Amino acid sequence: MLVLSRKLGEKIYINDNICITVVDIDRGKIRLGIEAPRDVPIFRQELLGESKDAKASAEKPALAAKG
């Protein structure tokens, strides 16, 4: 994991097509702005976890039916 420190308004670039900007810092929370092509999926961790849980639940009955 790469750990970087950034101040308000500073940016991080990933490749040539993704830019992350520190938009706001308030009471221990930061707000990030992400500029990326529309074909690049961006997920919040808590939503990604729900998606994985739902997918795993949907796959369990199918796996049990095979056995």
Q: Is the pLDDT of residue 12 over 90?
A: yes
DSSP letters, 38-60, are: TTS----HHHHHHHHHHHHHHHH
> How distant, in Å, are the alpha carbons of 31, 50, 60 from that of 63?
41, 20, 5
- For residue 59, the model assigns a pLDDT of 59
**Is the pTM higher than 0.85?**
no
- Residue 42 · residue 34 · CB < 8 Å: yes
Q: Is the pLDDT of residue 31 over 90?
A: yes
Q: Is the pLDDT of residue 16 over 90?
A: yes
Q: Which two tokens stand for residue 67?
A: 């056995």
Q: Is the pLDDT of residue 46 over 70?
A: yes
- For residue 56, the model assigns a pLDDT of 61
Cα-Cα end-to-end distance for the chain: 39
